[in-house]
């Protein structure tokens, strides 16, 4: 008897009562069924609201990312060179076309200073890889490589203008360049001293002047050249004058 009552109650709830999971506003009491139209309308309305909130949220996220990127992007990038290998002198100027392009690209992408530096480091490493290996070049010049390089450098400073000296320095960075310069030096042993300002005259260093004094024209009897001696004296005065001024 008790089992029959339970079955009867469940049957009545199934056929004539609202299920617990259905809200009152979606139940048609007259027909004792779910109001599909009301349920569908409510669902569509909710979907629109969620869609609007998602769009607003996406917009806010985009604005936050933009503002954060802008805050981390410097007004002007500073060119910071990585540590260079010993005896490597690399001139990196922000006016170089490639670096100007990199600065503009980094700015448009909103890159930070650290990210910009990574590009500079890649550029420097590429430049270094194209430079001649100084140790290998010295081996090609033999045991007296240092003396030959210094002699070629001093001759260039004594006989070339600052601009020409700057150009020949790159040329003489290889063993072949030094050998070619030595041939030029041998052809100009008896040439008169230059009348235009040379690199050594523009910015004499103490080491350069001491090297000039080793020339037989300065100290050796029978070969001493008054004009050469006077030139060294003038350069010493210029050197010490610039030291006092600084």
pLDDT by residue, tens only, the chain of 246 residues:
445 554 444 444 455 577 777 777 767 777 777 777 777 777 777 777 776 667 766 777 667 666 666 666 778 888 888 887 776 777 777 788 888 898 889 888 888 888 889 998 888 888 777 777 778 888 888 888 888 888 888 888 878 888 888 878 777 778 888 888 888 878 776 555 555 566 666 677 778 778 778 887 878 888 888 887 887 788 878 777 766 655
92: exposed, middle or buried (Cβ count in 10 Å: 0-12, 13-18, 19+)? middle
Q: DSSP class of residue 31?
A: T
Query: What's residue 13's pLDDT?
Result: 47
pLDDT by residue (tens digit) across 104-119? 898 888 888 888 899 9
Residue 136 C-alpha from the chain's centroid: 28
Whether 198 contacts 168, CB under 8 Å: no
Which of 92, 161, 162, 177 has the alpha carbon at shortest distance from 126? Answer: 92
Query: What's residue 139's pLDDT?
Result: 87
What is the rounded CA–CA span in Å between residue 34 and residue 27?
5
Which of 57, 58, 27, 20 has the alpha carbon at shortest distance from 42? Answer: 27
Beta bridge partners of 34: 27
Query: What's residue 7's pLDDT?
Result: 47
Q: Reduced to 3 states, what is the DSSP secondary structure of residue 34? A: strand
Per-domain boundaries in the chain? 20-52, 74-129, 140-199, 204-246
Q: Reduced to 3 states, what is the DSSP secondary structure of residue 27? A: strand
Average pLDDT, the chain: 76
Query: What's residue 1's pLDDT?
Result: 45
Question: How many C-beta neighbours within 10 Å does residue 106 have?
Answer: 21
Ramachandran sector of residue 110 (left: φ over 0; alpha: ψ -120 to 50; beta: rest): left
What is the rounded CA–CA span in Å between residue 7 and residue 9?
6
pLDDT by residue (tens digit) across 82-96? 887 776 777 777 788
pTM over 0.85: no
């Amino acid at each position: 008897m008790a089992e029959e009552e339970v079955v009867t109650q469940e049957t009545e709830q199934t056929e004539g009562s609202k299920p617990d999971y259905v809200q009152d506003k979606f139940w048609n009491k007259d027909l004792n069924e779910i109001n599909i139209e009301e349920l569908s309308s409510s669902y569509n309305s909710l979907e629109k609201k969620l869609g609007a909130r998602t769009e607003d949220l996406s917009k806010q996220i985009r604005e936050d990312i933009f503002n954060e990127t802008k805050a981390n992007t410097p007004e002007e990038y500073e060119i910071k060179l990585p540590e260079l290998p010993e005896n490597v002198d690399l001139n990196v100027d922000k006016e170089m076309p490639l670096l100007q392009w990199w600065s503009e690209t980094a700015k448009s992408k909103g890159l930070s200073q650290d990210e910009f530096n990574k590009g500079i480091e890649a550029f420097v490493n590429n430049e270094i890889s194209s430079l001649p290996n100084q140790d290998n070049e010295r081996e090609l010049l033999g045991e007296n490589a240092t003396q030959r390089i210094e002699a070629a450098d001093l001759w260039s400073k004594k006989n070339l203008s600052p601009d020409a000296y700057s150009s020949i320095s790159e040329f003489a960075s290889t063993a072949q360049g030094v050998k070619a310069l030595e041939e030029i030096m041998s052809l100009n042993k008896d040439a008169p001293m230059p009348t235009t300002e040379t690199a050594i005259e523009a910015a004499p260093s103490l080491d350069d002047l001491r090297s000039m004094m080793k020339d037989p024209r300065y100290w050796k009897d029978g070969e001493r050249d008054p004009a050469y001696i006077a030139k060294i004296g003038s350069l010493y005065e210029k050197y010490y004058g610039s030291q006092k001024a600084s």
